Amino acid sequence: MSDKSQPRENSESNKAQKEIERLAFFPLANPMPVVEVDLDGVPSYINPAGIQLLDRMNLDRSQVSQILPKTYKADISTGALDHSQIPSREVSLEGMHLLWSAFFLENQNLLHYYATDITSLKNTEIELISAKERALRNEEVKTLFLANMSHEIRTPLNSILGFTELIEEEVKGKFNEQLEAYFETIYMSGKRLWQTVHHILDISQIETGTFELKTESIDLGKIVKDLGASFNSVAKAKDLELNINIPATEIHIISDEYCATQAISNLIDNAIKYTNSGYVHLDIEVVEDAVKITIQDTGIGMSKEYQDMVFDVFSQESTGYTKNFQGMGLGLALAHRYLSLINGKLLFESEQDVGSKFTIHFPGNAEPGKTEQIAEPLEAEPTARPLDAALDSRINILVVEDDPNSQKLASFTLSKDYDLHFAESVADSKKMLDLHDVQMILLDLSLRGDEDGLDLARFLRGEAKWNKIPIVALTAHAFTSDRDRCMEAGCSDFMTKPFRLAELKETIQRLI
């Protein structure tokens, strides 16, 4: 070898030595543990940070496996056999969270582990999970509270209005008109209370994001026609002209029926409420890919200053002790929110002391047709057979209800026409079904015991002996989700408390 080549070899050797020293410095200087183990899991190297961790945990080098992932032996086998990538593993040690990564040193048959401190990230993750769980618990508490409040208000209100109807029937024609007006006042006051509760529950569900939509094809023309008929008497009482103009063609849109109905109802109700003289007109028009509903009145209108707040919750232009109109200021706010949920738009124009015009735009397609005007409610087609023609003999109805007053109301209302049997729990219901040939069930959801009305409905639909019995869910649980659960469980119909006694009788006759 020449003298000239010797310096070159020394230079390359020095570079290699420096590279080895540089690479060896990394684990030494690494503030996190670095461990190498052989194929038997025996540590061949532990850096200073790893030794400090062992000391902190009162462990020696032979116990290094206690700071490594529990899968370290499987990782060694994996690395030795196919040299595949070894997944990173989390290890928690006395409040410290380490993420161990590994790779196999093939030329040395060693598994090289190096740790990353993820304690801060892990604590943040734990806090986020805990916060999410608390939020879900709070949401569940809110939902349960709303459902319970609905049930606790609707149940006694059902008895108040139901027994008022019974008394009214008994005294009708026997006393003067003034006494009959008392009953009308009681009913209207009860209806106002029911509507207030109804609005509060809906706005609470919408604001908390728990309102459930049911999208389907709905007949918008029929909805408006029915609403026009129902508001006719209210308009007459104020001597207002109520005109509902509907195209003769069917107008079907894909939407949530409850939201669409309530939005239109609130706007009609609002127009009548704030109109002291003149008219309320509703027109439906099919325009391109949308259906437009216009509700115009000759009411008190709104000031320009108030119009920016018209869709705010609990907002009314007239407030305080001197406000001129009843209500909580939820009608328009709810109409706007209902329509937002179903991708509808609500626009308005208003001039104080002149009137207002609200315009709803529903997305959908329909063919326009000639217009019909409905000034009076149409007579409904008979949906049920007369009692005397329904059946030759009295039928047995099982009333599954745990509220004593609701039981009494059912007894006083229905016992003249049907043989009633009562049960307060699922277990009692099964006994009554074995004892009597029951042809119909009126079912509340909240019952005594560990099972509810839905459990009973599901049981009956699974039994050949009883799976054809009509079941009417008659409950104070009135959310849309409650109705869906009832129908999914096998109920034939769904009615919410409070209800009109005539509606209940019509439902029974229709289903038997």
Q: What is the pLDDT of residue 382?
A: 39
pLDDT at 270 over 50: yes
Residue type for position 440:
M
Q: What is the DSSP string of 12-41?
A: HHHHHHHHHHHHHHHHHH-SS-EEEE-TTS
Choose between 224 and 327: higher pLDDT.
224
**97 phi and psi angles, rounded to 5 deg:** -115, 120
Tokens of 89: 């593993």
Which residue from 414, 421, 475, 484 is spatially nearest to 446, judged by alpha carbons? 475
pLDDT at 367 over 60: no
Q: What is the pLDDT of residues 87-118, one digit of tens each?
A: 888 888 877 888 888 877 776 778 788 888 88
Q: What is the pLDDT of residues 471-487, one digit of tens each?
A: 999 988 877 778 888 99
Q: What is the pLDDT of residue 288?
A: 77
Q: What is the DSSP string of 165-225?
A: HHHHHHHTTTS-HHHHHHHHHHHHHHHHHHHHHHHHHHHHHHHHT-PPP-EEEEEHHHHHH
Q: What is the pLDDT of residue 430?
A: 95
What gap in Å lies between CA 230 and CA 232, rounded to an integer? 6
Average the pLDDT over 446-473 and give the result: 93
Q: What percent of the chain has pLDDT over 70?
A: 81
Peptide bond into 498 cis (omega under 30): yes
Residues 507/495, Cβ–Cβ less than 8 Å: yes
Q: What is the pLDDT of residue 13?
A: 53
Between helix 220-237 and helix 257-273 the angle, nearest 10°, is 20
Residues 302/350, Cβ–Cβ less than 8 Å: yes
Distances 498 to 205, 344, 410 between C-alpha atoms, Å: 20, 30, 13
Choose between 31 and 117: higher pLDDT.
117
Provide the H-helix boundaries in 401-444. Answer: 404-414, 426-435
Q: What is the pLDDT of residues 122-172, one digit of tens each?
A: 888 888 888 888 877 776 776 677 677 777 788 888 888 888 888 877 777
What sign does the dihedral 321-323-328-333 (CA atoms) show?
A: negative
Q: Which residues pair with 448 in a beta bridge?
A: 425
Q: What is the pLDDT of residue 329?
A: 66
pTM of this prediction exceeds 0.75: no
- Please, which pLDDT band fits residue 31 given cuts at 50, 70 and 90? confident
Q: From the CA atom positions of the chain, what is the Rg in Å?
A: 37
Strand (E) or helix (H) holding 416: none
Instruction: Say if strands 110-117 and 96-105 run parallel, antiparallel, or are unpaired.
Output: antiparallel
